[in-house]
Structure 1
Amino acid sequence: MNNEDLFMAQSETVPEELTAVAASKASAEEGLLGRENVVGVGVGLKIKGGEQTETPSVMVLVSQKMPTDLVSRANTIPRTVDGKPTDVLEVGHLFAGGSDQLMETQEVDAQTLALRIRPARPGFSVGHFKITAGTIGAGAYDLNPVPGIPPRYYVLSNNHVLANSNNASIGDPILQPGPFDGGTAPADVIGRLARFVPIRFDGTCNSVDAAVAEVPFHMIDRDVYWNGYPATAAKAATVGMLLKKTGRTTNFTTGRVTAIAATVNVNYGSGRVAKFCNQIITTNMSAGGDSGSMVLDLQNNPVGLLFAGSSVATILNPIALVQLALQVRVWP
């Protein structure tokens, strides 16, 4: 199996017990997303009384749970779709969790990893020179065969952190810490934007919000602050999996996967909404400025790249898809 086959297999894995629900979700997705208050649809295990059950369900993600008598019949979530049970999961209003939301999150009583640090480490502040700040997710290098000599090295984060939500040019300066945290050019330039996956705002599916900045080898480490080194290239998310991350705003946090294979609509501000498919939904484990954090399982296997969320949920790109789209490795 070559590099691309390996990453694609990791990113598309749906456990056998959820495949039937995933098929039902796919057939009902468009209709469900068209209902008022619905911001996403995924697959998972029904939650009752705050506890995860063993019942595979189509997870309907809503910005706010409403009493049934306040919801019109046309917008009511059916109890089943295609014969499979549904579950309504409140996830709030989903925003790309970076620069536009950063100011209001400063009211949260949390220390921030906003210092200048060399070599830079994943978990610390970073940003394109025209944004506020996000988080370094990982140190990475070109997806060349192993064994080999990598030609270039990178900082990995989100498009909206390193490429200003498409509004950047290759070669633009990247600052560590990000501008909001006092980073200035040229003193704090750590590297230059090397490539990014454009975000589409036309209703078609996006897979990742991701970018890399090329940096000198000695300027980036791969040791995630408070978490350690990645133990493998990628691991597919499973419902109920426990996760951890270190990010610029909320420091070290843990969470649990509540849905996988999710399609979600994410707000990027200024009236721009992007549709993302095959995403991972977790309990809340982030705030504005944590965008770009690499999320690992408790054995340090990379699972996702954090890019969006709300006060009650966090959204991740599958890390395998991120590496495939950018043609980089975070391990070995």
Structure 2
Amino acid sequence: MPESIGPLAAENRRLEDLLDSGVREQLLALSGVFHTAVGLKEVDGRATDTLCVKTYVHTKRTVAELSPDQVVPPTVDGVPTDVTEVPAEFRFTADDSSHRPLVGGIQLTNGIKALDPANLQVSVSRGTLGCFATRTSDGKAVLLTNWHVATANGGRVGDSLFQPLPEPEEDRIEDDFPKRPKSSKNAVATLVDAKVTEKVDGAIARVNTCYSSCCNCGVGFRNTVRGLDVAGSDAIAGTAPSPVVAGQTVFKVGRATDKQEGKVVTANYPSFSITRDGTTYTFTGQIQIQGAPGVTFSLHGDSGSVVVDSARRVVGLLFAGPGNAAFSLANHIADVVGALGITIKGGERSVLATEEPDELVQELAVRFRRTSAGRRLAELLEVHRAEVVHLVNHERRVTVAWHRAQGPAWYAALARGARHTDYRLPADIGGVTRAAAYARMHAVLAQYGGETLRADLAAWSEPLRKAFTGARTTAELLDTAGGA
């Protein structure tokens, strides 16, 4: 059963009221104290179960080093106090498996390679896909992760995100770094927004692939978190109606440390800074979380994980921690959804309700699976669809070829034929014959596609050309291509 946090929340509010009564100003006037919050008392760096009034300093000093009037009292109005030293350095937190359908808690990367000039090592930054959400501006499904994950090594809006990694390619010292992937294999989403503020380190990406309840083509996605298993399910249950409080139990699943249980030490961590690529970013008012004794709640690679309560409601977005991994820090989810303009719905399938089925792709999937050759072709479409869509949308030379070949009009004609079986496909559109359209797209995809796509195009070139150029209807085209 999910825990009841009513009494805990009430005690948190009581201590917040105590701070607001003038205690905060008294404590901030003491030497070295720069922040106060309600939280759990810590002993030897470990959080206990005792709620207290926390004071934060950059460097702890002994009682002997302070004058009596500058010592933090052991209690305030009968409530215990705590003096916590803030670490000098923080960093963004860093399963290599392929996951289909996509779910939360799995590896995500923009695939951009960086070169360390000191040791000439090439690296790719990898984080975690948190969960899926709905963008309020257009009702489209998006995946949620961190700004610093999605924009690592110079990533920007419009770039692809990959799961797991892009197709491998040879690296040379003389290459132009940061180096963007040439292949779109394993591209699953396109970055549409990324925000970094003192409250938020978040990003959303529009899923490239097709999914609907009546179509098993493309790459699906479900609003579950792999291995979460909280309250008998892996499914996200929306967002919590109120912020987390100190002492509350929370969970996360990340790429580096998988599922971990932790406890909120405070929901109002003091300001701290992280420097990335020469720019310093300051964060404040974050959720501090600590794992059970002997357990690390998160490590480098877990960035982007959603933090959920015992009812599987999202309460935070994990993004950082100190260098010694003694605790983790997460954005409040209310700040994240507000900054990115999204909602996180409850239920495994609810986020998918806005996805419109693609009639032609559905017909392809159904028709091709009638024969052994067709099933093979259906598998190839599933593997390459995201890459082709990415090339058409983001590789300028492919985009130009697509439009010069009247690609959108040909696709519309094929889709119409899928809906109306008596519709006869035109011999040409805008002066572009089927043979010319096929030749142009085949050539450009063979030039700019990844190694696997090029190999499959070569193997299937003749049956695809015959089907597209000779069929009178969409049904006939599908039967010919599928080997019926």
Normalising by structure 2, report the TM-score.
Answer: 0.52
How many residue pairs are counted as aligned between the two chains?
287
| Cα distance in 1 between the residues matched to 2:308 and 2:32 | 33
Using the TM superposition, give the Cα deviation of residue 188 of structure 1 relative to its aligned residue in structure 2, in angstroms. Answer: 1.6
Question: Which letter does structure 1 place at the counterpart of 2:345?
Answer: W
Q: 1:247 to 1:28 in 2, by over 3 A?
A: farther
Corresponding residue of 1:226: 227
Q: 1:308 to 1:212 in 2, by over 3 A?
A: same
1:141 aligns with 2:122: no
1:60 aligns with 2:56: yes
**Could you tell me which of 203, 212, 215 is aligned with 2:207?**
215
Does the CA contact (< 8 Å) of 1:92 and 1:313 recur in 2? no
Q: 1:290 to 1:91 in 2, by over 3 A?
A: farther
1:193 aligns with 2:185: no
Using the TM superposition, give the Cα deviation of residue 293 of structure 1 relative to its aligned residue in structure 2, in angstroms. Answer: 0.3
| Cα distance in 2 between the residues matched to 1:14 and 1:168 | 44
Corresponding residue of 2:320: 308
| Cα distance in 2 between the residues matched to 1:181 and 1:61 | 47
**Greater fraction helix:** 2
| Cα distance in 2 between the residues matched to 1:118 and 1:94 | 37
Question: Which letter does structure 1 place at the counterpart of 2:286?
Answer: Q
- What are the within-5 Å matches in structure 2 for residues 237-248 of structure 1? 237-248=244-255
Q: 1:28 to 1:193 in 2, by over 3 A?
A: farther
| Cα distance in 1 between the residues matched to 2:333 and 2:128 | 15
Corresponding residue of 1:157: 145
Using the TM superposition, give the Cα deviation of residue 22 of structure 1 relative to its aligned residue in structure 2, in angstroms. Answer: 4.8
The 3-state SS of whatever aligns with 2:109 is: strand
Corresponding residue of 2:6: none
Does the CA contact (< 8 Å) of 1:134 and 1:178 recur in 2? no
Provide the identity percentage.
25
User: Rg: which structure is higher?
Assistant: 2
| Cα distance in 2 between the residues matched to 1:271 and 1:14 | 42
The 3-state SS of whatever aligns with 2:337 is: helix
Corresponding residue of 1:260: 267
Q: 1:140 to 1:232 in 2, by over 3 A?
A: closer
RMSD (Å), alpha carbons: 3.6
The 3-state SS of whatever aligns with 2:224 is: coil
| Cα distance in 2 between the residues matched to 1:268 and 1:180 | 30
Using the TM superposition, give the Cα deviation of residue 28 of structure 1 relative to its aligned residue in structure 2, in angstroms. Answer: 7.5
Using the TM superposition, give the Cα deviation of residue 238 of structure 1 relative to its aligned residue in structure 2, in angstroms. Answer: 1.1
1:168 aligns with 2:149: no
Stretches of structure 2 lacking an aligned partner (at least 5 in a row): 1-9, 113-123, 170-179, 212-218, 229-233, 292-296, 347-484
Deviations 1:90-133 (A, max 9, x none): 564553334xxx4xxxxxxxxxx221212221111102232510
Q: Larger deviation: 313-322 or 21-30?
A: 21-30
| Cα distance in 1 between the residues matched to 2:80 and 2:63 | 17
Question: Which one has more relative contact order, counting CA pairs under 8 Å at least 6 apart?
Answer: 1
Using the TM superposition, give the Cα deviation of residue 142 of structure 1 relative to its aligned residue in structure 2, in angstroms. Answer: 1.3
Question: Which letter does structure 2 place at the counterpart of 1:118?
Answer: R
Stretches of structure 1 lacking an aligned partner (at least 5 in a row): 1-12, 103-112, 145-149, 200-205
Using the TM superposition, give the Cα deviation of residue 53 of structure 1 relative to its aligned residue in structure 2, in angstroms. Answer: 2.1
Does the CA contact (< 8 Å) of 2:37 and 2:268 recur in 1? yes
Does the CA contact (< 8 Å) of 1:44 and 1:239 recur in 2? yes
1:320 aligns with 2:334: yes
**Greater fraction strand:** 1
